[in-house]
C-alpha cells in the first residue's frame, strides 16, 4: 500500500485575530511539534508590517492580507496534493484552506472535530475579526467574500464541537443553535470520548480534520494561551477547561474510528518566550547595529 503524503503548512497568520503575537507563536510551534524527515513543510507568505493601517473591507479587518494568504495556501495544497495536512498557525482562520481542500479530497466522508471553547461561526454583522468566522465560512455563512472561496462546503452534520463552553455562547455564536450543530462541553468529555465516537458512527465519518485551538485548554493545565497573558485581570470570552491529556485521549479514541487526515493547531501564545525575547532585545549586547 502506498504511504500517504503529509504536508505541513507553516502559516503564521495574525491578521484574523488582529494580534501580531500569533506570528511568533506559530514559528515556535514549528519547533515544538514532533519533527519529520519525510513530510515537506511549506511556509505561507504572511505580511508582517504590524504598523501599517489595518482597514475593514467587506466587513473583515485585514481583509486583503487574509484573502491573499488564503489564496496562497489553497494554491499550495492544490499543487502539492497531499493526503494529510498539518497546519502550524496562527489564528483560527488558518483552518479554512486545508479543511476545504480535504473535504474535496475525501468526497464528503470527512468530519470536522472543532476543539475550541468558542465556535467561530460569527458573521460580519457581529464581528470584523476573521478568526471568529472561519467555521461559518466553511458552512457557507460567515464572511461572504471568504465563504464564496470555499469550493467544498460542509454540511452541519459534518461538524462536532468538543470542549465548547455552550453556557457562555454570545450573540455572535448563535449559529450553533440555528444550524443545530453537535457539541459536547468540557464536562461531557471529561472522562469519556463516547459522545464524539457516537457522532462519527451516526454520520458514517471515515476521515477527520481536527481544529485544535489551544484555548480549549484550561490555563491551569496549559499556559500558552490568550487568557494566560501575565497580569491579565479579565478575559472577555469563555475560558477553556480541558487538559492536554484529555485532548490526547479524545484524539486517540477518535482515530480508532476515523482516520485523522487534517490537524490545525491555532492560537499559540507562549507568553514567557515572547516576553523574554522582547526583554533581551533591550539589552545592548544584542544590538547588532553597532
Beta bridge partners of 40: 7
The answer to whether residue 152 sits within a structural domain is yes
Give the pLDDT band of residue 9 (cuts 50, 70, 90): very high
Omega within 30 of 0 (cis) for the link into 126? no
Q: What percent of the chain has pLDDT over 70?
A: 99
Whether residue 11 lies inside any domain: the answer is: yes
Cα of 133 vs its chain's centroid, Å:
11
The pLDDT value recorded for residue 2 is 74
169, part of any domain = yes
Residue in the block written with cell 454583522: 125
Is position 130 within any domain? Answer: yes
Residue-wise pLDDT for 191-220, tens only, equals: 999 999 999 999 999 999 999 999 999 999
- Amino acid 1: pLDDT: 62
Please write the tens of the pLDDT for every residue from 126-161: 999 999 999 999 999 999 999 999 999 999 999 999
Residue 115 within a domain: yes
- Specify if 1 maps to a domain: no
User: Alpha-carbon distance 253 to 214, whole Å?
Assistant: 19
pLDDT in tens, 75-110: 999 999 999 999 999 999 999 999 999 999 998 899
Q: Cell digits for 265?
A: 493547531
> What's the confidence (pLDDT) of residue 288?
86
On average, the pLDDT of the chain sits at: 96
In the predicted model, what is the mean pLDDT of residues 180-194?
98
Using the predicted structure, report yes or no on whether residue 253 has a pLDDT greater than 70.
yes
pLDDT of residue 236: 77
Residue 17 lies in a domain: yes
How many independent structural domains does the chain possess? 1
pTM of the model: 0.96
Residue span of the structural domain in which 214 resides:
6-286
Assess if residue 144 is contained within a domain. yes
Q: Which three cell numbers stand for residue 67?
A: 484573502
Amino acid at each position: 500500500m502506498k504511504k500517504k503524503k503529509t504536508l505541513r503548512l507553516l502559516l503564521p497568520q495574525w491578521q484574523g485575530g488582529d494580534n501580531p503575537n500569533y506570528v511568533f507563536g506559530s514559528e515556535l510551534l514549528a519547533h515544538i511539534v514532533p519533527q519529520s524527515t519525510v513530510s515537506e513543510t511549506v511556509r505561507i507568505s504572511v505580511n508582517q508590517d504590524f504598523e501599517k493601517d489595518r482597514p475593514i473591507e467587506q466587513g473583515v479587518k485585514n481583509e486583503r492580507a487574509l484573502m491573499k494568504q488564503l489564496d496562497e495556501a489553497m494554491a499550495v495544497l492544490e499543487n502539492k496534493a497531499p493526503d494529510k495536512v498539518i497546519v502550524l498557525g496562527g489564528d483560527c482562520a488558518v483552518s479554512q484552506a486545508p479543511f476545504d481542500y480535504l473535504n474535496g479530497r475525501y468526497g464528503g466522508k470527512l468530519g470536522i472535530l472543532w476543539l475550541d471553547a468558542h465556535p467561530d461561526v460569527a458573521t460580519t454583522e457581529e464581528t470584523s475579526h476573521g478568526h471568529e468566522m472561519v467555521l461559518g465560512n466553511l458552512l457557507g455563512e460567515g464572511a461572504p467574500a471568504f465563504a464564496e472561496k470555499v469550493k467544498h462546503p460542509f454540511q452541519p452534520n459534518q461538524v462536532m464541537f468538543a470542549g465548547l463552553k455552550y453556557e457562555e455562547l454570545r450573540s455572535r455564536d448563535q449559529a450553533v443553535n440555528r444550524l443545530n450543530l453537535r457539541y459536547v462541553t468540557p464536562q461531557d468529555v471529561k472522562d469519556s470520548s463516547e459522545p464524539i465516537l457516537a457522532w462519527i458512527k451516526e454520520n458514517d465519518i471515515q476521515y477527520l480534520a481536527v481544529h485544535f485551538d489551544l484555548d480549549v485548554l484550561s490555563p491551569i493545565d496549559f499556559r500558552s494561551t490568550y487568557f494566560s497573558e501575565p497580569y491579565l485581570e479579565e478575559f472577555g470570552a469563555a475560558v477553556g477547561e480541558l487538559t492536554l491529556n484529555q485532548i490526547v485521549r479524545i484524539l486517540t479514541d477518535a482515530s480508532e474510528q476515523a482516520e485523522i487526515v487534517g490537524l490545525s493547531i491555532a492560537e499559540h501564545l507562549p507568553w514567557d518566550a515572547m516576553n523574554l525575547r522582547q526583554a533581551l532585545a533591550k539589552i545592548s549586547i544584542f544590538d547588532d547595529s553597532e
